[in-house]
Structure 1
Amino acid sequence: MGRVEYWNVPDAPKANTLVPACGMLAVDDQGAILLQCRRDTGQWALPMGKMEIGETPTECAIRETLEEAGVEVEVTGLLGVYSDPGHIIAYSDGEVRQEYEVTLLARPVGGACAPNDEASHVGWFRPGELAGLDLHPTMPDRRLPGGPDASH
């Protein structure tokens, strides 16, 4: 299914759904951050996805991290809750989405980085390496250590 993202575009389609999503900022013992290169945008981002009926935000974030990155994690805290009404995602099936995202903190406990249907590449990156990556525009909102807006 195709999608187009809009960022503060006045004539963007109006959202017809508000979708809860959950993601994970996983940091290993050396301070490296787990990121995936999304197949739909070609940009690097935290593992994150739509919450399913019947699961908690923690269960969703753990599931999405395993599905999208191949890494099993243990939640250690809450990074934040994010939603930007100016960020609209229009899908080819007619859904026009504004997301409401819960991002948790975690540490890896198993598994191994593995590409999949949603991620062309998966890896661990030290904070100083983030500036050289094409990060998805939502990532600076997460205040990733060493990311483009880490000082704000």
Structure 2
Amino acid sequence: MNSPVELLGQVVADLDAVLRTDVVAGLNDVEKMELLWVAGEVQRRVEAVVVETVASVDARPAGSGEAGFCGKFGCRTVGELLQRVLRTDAAGAGRVVKAAKAVRREVNLSSGAWLPARWPELRAALLAGTVGVAGVLAATGPVPT
């Protein structure tokens, strides 16, 4: 099991195992607090996976005639695609797109190497699970683009 899809599929199966039982209701207060803490860790990392994936989507080459990433899946925009795939509303999809723009890395045209994100430390904090989408937007929202 090496692919990200397989790894996250196992996480989903593990979460389903927790939710199939009444074990959560039977936890004491300290255990419930620990469960909430770990669930927050999981949530922030899932947000990081989503943001990193969206940030890695290449724009359609201008004039290429190729369908862009979204078009390949029947959508006009990344926001529309996220609404369908993540089952979120337009505002939630928009927050993900905005966070992805803040941490996106471009490729150097001459060397092919990854350039740093506009906010490299914020990207590192996102990938480490220190902040989620809300944290990225809170940190970058007041700064003009």
TM-score by length of 2: 0.22
User: Which one has the largest radius of gyration?
Assistant: 2
Point out which structure has higher relative CO (alpha carbons under 8 A, 6+ apart).
1
TM-score by length of 1: 0.21
Whose strand fraction is larger, Structure 1's or Structure 2's? 1
Whose helix fraction is larger, Structure 1's or Structure 2's? 2
